[in-house]
Each structure stands twice: as structure tokens, then as C-alpha cells.
């Protein structure tokens, strides 16, 4: 059955205007603007723990860690979104159409939720992997103490996934960082 009413497709400029006027964050892709739901306290605690671990290890260097307040645009696919955490090394390259977004992250972090788990591990990951500057994507499970790290194979466009579970640590080779899985999981349990 087809609808008598065609779907409205938004331009990226429509999205930029909405973001400037709204107190709610939105994701943009292929002419669709979707409001991003707020996370649970557990989700926020896990993201904060990952940010803390990264910040401590990168302190004093040329890489900076950002919260979910920083928007990221994938110029290659058009996705504009707010990862749970980002790392940018060197000067931030701004989106030419939305100066509050960056286009050159080295690391992106997503903490899954019931509503985003498939998207985070599937379509969103695929978009992220198109960013030329990106070396790694960290995906933290909200279900079990498990971190997945997708890392670009040096000198190629291929990606490899490794996992670390309870009692383990995941290494982000390109940044020389390690993430303690138990500490991230415990942050959510302490609530």
C-alpha cells in the first residue's frame, strides 16, 4: 500500500537550521532528520568512564577527547550525528556547513542501548568507516561487560574487529590507549 502523502526530504541546510533552533539533538542522513533520545544513567556512566580513561592516557598530547556534545559529520555519506565520545588529533577540521561539527575524528565511541544496538554495530559503523581520518571505533555493550574495537588496518581501507570481555582490556593501537572493560562496566553498576 502506498501513501497518498509523499515523505518530506530535508536538506542538510534544513537540518543545520533545526539544530540551531532546537534544544534537542538530531541525526541527519539521506534527507531524514531524527531526534536522538536521551540515554539512561548507566549509558551516561559508561560513556563518562571511557572518556575519563581516554583523557587520562592522552593528556598532554596532540589528541583531545570530546563528549557527545561534539557533532561529527561523515562527508563521504552525509551522516551527521553525535557519538558518545570522540577523539580528534591535531586541529579540528570543521564541517563547512555546520561549524560546530568536525569531520576528522581519529576515534569514535558508541555505547549501545536497546534501541540503537543494531544500528550502532551495523549501518552507523559502516558510515563511520568511510571517514578517512578515522582509525578506530569503540562499541561498548549495554548488555554485558564487552568492548568491541574496530580498527583500520594500517595502510589499507580494511577493518579488523577485536573484543575484550570481563577482566580484560581493549587496546586502541593507533592512539596507544587501553580501555579497562571492568571499570567501564562497573561505572554503570555503581548507580
CATH classification at residue 68: 3.90.1570.10
Q: Is residue 20 part of a domain?
A: no
Q: Is residue 130 part of a domain?
A: yes
Read off the pLDDT of residues 43-91 as tens digits, 9 standing for 90 and up: 999 999 999 999 999 999 999 999 999 999 999 999 999 999 999 999 9
- Grid cell, residue 90, equals 591535531
Query: What's the pTM?
Result: 0.93
Find, among 100, 70, 76, the residue nearest to 88 by Cα. Answer: 70
Interatomic CA distance for residues 190 and 178, integer angstroms: 22
| Neighbouring residues of 54: CB distance < 8 A, sequence distance ≥ 6 | 65, 85, 87, 107, 175, 177, 179
Q: Is the pLDDT of residue 148 over 80?
A: yes
Domain count along the chain: 1
Q: Is residue 21 part of a domain?
A: no
Q: What is the pLDDT of residue 8?
A: 77
Query: Higher-confidence residue: 43 or 4?
Result: 43
Interatomic CA distance for residues 17 and 2, integer angstroms: 30
Structural domain of residue 79, as residue ranges?
Answer: 40-189
Amino acid at each position: 500500500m502506498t501513501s497518498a502523502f509523499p515523505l518530506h526530504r530535508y536538506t542538510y541546510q534544513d537540518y543545520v537550521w533545526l539544530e540551531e533552533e532546537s534544544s534537542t539533538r538530531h541525526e541527519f542522513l539521506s534527507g531524514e532528520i531524527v531526534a536522538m533520545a536521551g540515554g539512561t544513567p548507566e549509558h551516561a556512566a559508561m560513556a563518562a568512564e571511557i572518556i575519563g580513561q581516554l583523557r587520562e592516557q592522552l593528556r598532554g598530547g596532540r589528541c583531545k577527547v570530546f563528549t557527545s556534545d561534539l557533532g561529527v559529520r561523515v562527508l563521504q555519506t552525509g551522516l551527521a550525528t553525535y557519538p558518545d565520545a570522540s577523539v580528534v588529533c591535531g586541529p579540528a577540521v570543521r564541517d563547512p556547513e555546520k561549524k560546530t561539527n568536525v569531520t576528522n575524528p581519529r576515534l569514535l565511541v558508541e555505547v549501545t542501548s536497546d534501541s540503537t544496538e543494531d544500528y550502532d554495530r551495523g549501518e552507523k559503523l559502516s558510515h563511520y568507516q568511510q571517514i578517512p581520518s578515522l582509525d578506530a571505533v569503540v562499541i561498548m555493550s549495554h548488555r554485558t561487560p564487552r568492548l568491541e574495537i574496530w580498527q583500520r588496518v594500517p595502510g589499507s581501507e580494511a577493518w579488523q574487529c577485536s573484543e575484550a570481555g570481563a577482566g580484560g582490556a581493549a587496546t586502541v593501537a593507533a592512539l596507544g590507549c587501553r580501555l579497562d572493560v571492568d571499570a567501564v562496566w562497573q561505572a554503570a553498576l555503581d548507580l
